[in-house]
Amino acid sequence: MSKVDEFLNAARHLLGERGLVTDPDLVEPWLTDWRGRYTGKARALASPATTDEVAALVRLCAKHGVPIVPQGGNSGMSGGATPDDSGDAVILSLRRMNGVRRFDTQARQITCDAGVVLQTLHETVEVEGLRFPLTLGGKGSATIGGLISTNAGGTQVLRHGTMRAQVLGIEAVLADGTVFDSLTPLKKDNRGFDLKQLLIGSEGTLGIVTAATLRLLPALAERAVLWAGVGDLRDARKLLLHAERMAGDALEGFEVLPRHSLASVLSYNSQARAPLQQAHEWNALIELTADASTADTLAALGQNLLESAMERGLVEDATIAANEAQAEAFWAIRDEISLAERAIGPAKQHDISVPVADMADFVVATMPKVEKAFPGTTAVAYGHLGDGNVHFHVLAAKGVDAEEWENGQGKAISAMVHDEVTAWGGSISAEHGIGQMKRDELARLTDPVHLAILRRVKDALDPDGLLNPGKLVPNSVQRSS
């Protein structure tokens, strides 16, 4: 029997027929990332049902030298959950591990398996009058393990922080198959390094997250969702400051959409309706929230905020969602940008941040610069202005060959955008992670001291390099330019 068959037989014995799939037709859907940018190969799709099974599989892989690519909802943005094309790896799907282990409504904490889907978590806690304060467009597929592994952001970071801020405890299987169990949340714990924080955002390169304890908040009593048409992105920034001053903690989200993104969604989804009559260069989507003590005054606050912003000339036109259905419809427009854009054609996506105060200036300066350097392209920036993070996408000229463009002009475009971001003191990955998409750019543009630490931590926790190889951590710590 070949070594590979020996491994597969042992894995099947361990996980059962349901837990180990080698049929190419069944493995195939999980070999390509959500954006359709990367396709790899794998020996098998392993779907353990428990942490013990994950640990046993990892030990088996270590024994046979088989690389592991952990995967949650496969909705990542940087190819972090897609194997390479060697065909050596197994995909380790956490989707079968989707149970709630403990739900403490008084402490407002929930411990769940890594494969729980974000939307399911929202619904589960809502029944008990609670909420999990992180959401994003991919909530119907993104899993808790994937969100932790990428330290996902989303549209409520402004008020509640990224995934890092929501995780109170973690359970993870390490490269040698041992289980790191730190699920019990302690408010104070100074026993050295915060190892759970090291695992959060490590993209499966240091360990496989199998469960987490998450913090919850009381359900909202009320929300007001505002849509404002704005002439200039710098005015949107002023509007944000104005909203922060007026609304304080009630300000939960502040997103911007350029005219192009709104138009993309309207043509992609025939059910979608523009919130305002006229098109504006920029749109701001603002969410205010209230608990029981402030619910009565929320609508007035929203009204005042918009009226005073208009008096100051920051807003051209604005509306407040009349009811919950309309509020959802406003957010659906925002959440559908990615899908709508994907339908238009090839584009280079850059998930970037610069200091919050500089983001409007960065966008205003960089969009025309890129379009001038690459005639026929269209630069579009949208998203989390309040976090100093926009999705800076550059759409190809019409009619290009997608693959040729990606590997030619597309690469040059990304290099230019990343150079600009670096010159402005920013990050080439604000929230989507490095994955395989940005690994070379990370190596090219990051301080060698930073890279050397990444490498040393990786070598210490995964000396054989079997956990998600080729992702995040550059092989070399030398700057390539």
**Interface residue list for ligand MLT (CB under 6 A):** 77, 136-137, 337-338, 349, 351, 383, 391
Residues 70-129 touching Zn ion, rule: CB under 5 A, are none
84 binds, among ligand MLT, Zn ion, none (CB under 5 to 8 A by kind): none
Q: What is the size of the binding site for Zn ion (CB under 5 A)?
A: 1
- Give the shortest CB-337-to-ligand MLT separation in angstroms: 6
Residue found by looking up tokens 């897609």 in the block: 82
Rounded to a whole number of angstroms, the minimum distance from the CB of residue 220 to ligand MLT is 21
- How many C-beta neighbours within 10 Å does residue 41 have? 15
CB of 179 to ligand MLT, least distance (A): 31
Cβ proximity to Zn ion, 27 vs 152, nearer residue? 152
Out of ligand MLT, Zn ion, none, which partner does residue 77 contact, by CB within 5 to 8 A per kind?
Answer: ligand MLT
| Candidate segments 58-66, 376-384, 435-443, 468-476, binder of Zn ion by CB under 5 A | 376-384
φ/ψ of 149, rounded to 5, equals -65, -25
- Report in angstroms how near the CB of residue 255 gets to ligand MLT at its nearest: 8
Q: In which residue are the tokens 């098998």 written?
A: 44
CB of 242 to ligand MLT, least distance (A): 23
CB 474 within 8 A of CB 443: yes
CB 108 within 8 A of CB 130: yes
CB atoms inside a 10 Å sphere around CB 231: 14
CB-based contacts of 35-39 (< 8 A; 24+ apart in sequence): 35/77, 35/79, 35/342, 35/349, 36/342, 37/79, 37/406, 37/437, 38/79, 38/82, 38/436, 38/437, 39/82, 39/85
Q: Which is nearer to ligand MLT, 76 or 169 (CB)?
A: 76
How far apart CA 48 and CA 216 sit, in angstroms, is 27
Task: Tell me, rounded to whole angstroms, the distance of Cα 371 from its chain centroid.
Answer: 27
171 binds, among Zn ion, ligand MLT, none (CB under 5 to 8 A by kind): none
Question: Which range, of 219-227, 251-259, 375-383, 466-474, touches Zn ion by CB under 5 A?
Answer: 375-383
Shortest distance in whole angstroms from residue 77 CB to ligand MLT: 6
Q: From CA 68, how far away is CA 469, in angstroms rounded? A: 8
Residue nearest to ligand MLT (CB): 338
* Residue 214 touches which of ligand MLT, Zn ion, none (Cβ within 5-8 Å per kind): none
**Binding letters toward Zn ion, positions 267-286, x by CB under 5 A:** --------------------
Name the E strands within 324-401. 347-353, 378-384, 389-395
Name the one residue in this structure whose structure tokens are 């009565």: 296
**At closest approach, how far in Å is the CB of 348 from ligand MLT?**
12
- By beta-carbon proximity to ligand MLT, the closer residue of 109 and 338 is 338
Contacts of 349 (CB under 8 A, 6+ apart): 35, 77, 391, 392, 393
Q: Residue 406's binding partner, choosing from ligand MLT, Zn ion, none, with beta-carbon cut-off 5 to 8 A by kind? A: none
**Phi, psi dihedrals of residue 402, rounded to the nearest 5°:** -55, -50
Q: Give the nearer residue to Zn ion in terms of CB position, either 383 or 470.
A: 383
User: Which is it for the CA torsion 297, 302, 303, 305, positive or negative?
Assistant: positive
CB closer to ligand MLT, 263 vs 477 = 263
Dihedrals phi, psi of 192, to nearest 5 degrees: 85, -155
Among ligand MLT, Zn ion, none, the one that 379 touches (CB under a kind-dependent 5 to 8 A) is: none
To the nearest whole angstrom, how small is the minimum distance from the Cβ of residue 146 to ligand MLT? 13
What is the 3 state secondary structure string of 190-242? CCCCCHHHHHCCCCCCCEEEEEEEEECEECCCEEEEEEEEECCHHHHHHHHHH
**Residue 337 binds what, of Zn ion, ligand MLT, none (CB under 5 to 8 Å, by partner type)?**
ligand MLT
Nearer to Zn ion, 227 or 392 (CB): 392
CB-wise, 71 or 162, nearer to Zn ion?
162
Q: Compute the distance between CA of residue 156 and CA of residue 455 in angstroms, rounded to an integer.
A: 32
Nearer to ligand MLT, 239 or 352 (CB): 352
Closer by beta carbon to ligand MLT, 136 or else 360: 136
Query: 275 contacts which partner out of Zn ion, ligand MLT, none, CB within 5 to 8 A by kind?
Result: none
Q: Closest distance between Zn ion and the C-beta of residue 431, in Å?
A: 5
Contact 84, 40 (CB under 8 A): yes
Distance CA 70, CA 468 (A): 7
Q: Give least dist CB 67 to ligand MLT, A.
A: 27
User: Which 150-179 residues touch Zn ion, going by CB under 5 A?
Assistant: none
Site string for Zn ion, 379-418 (x = CB under 5 A): ----x-----------------------------------
> Which residues of this chain interact with Zn ion, rule CB under 5 A?
383
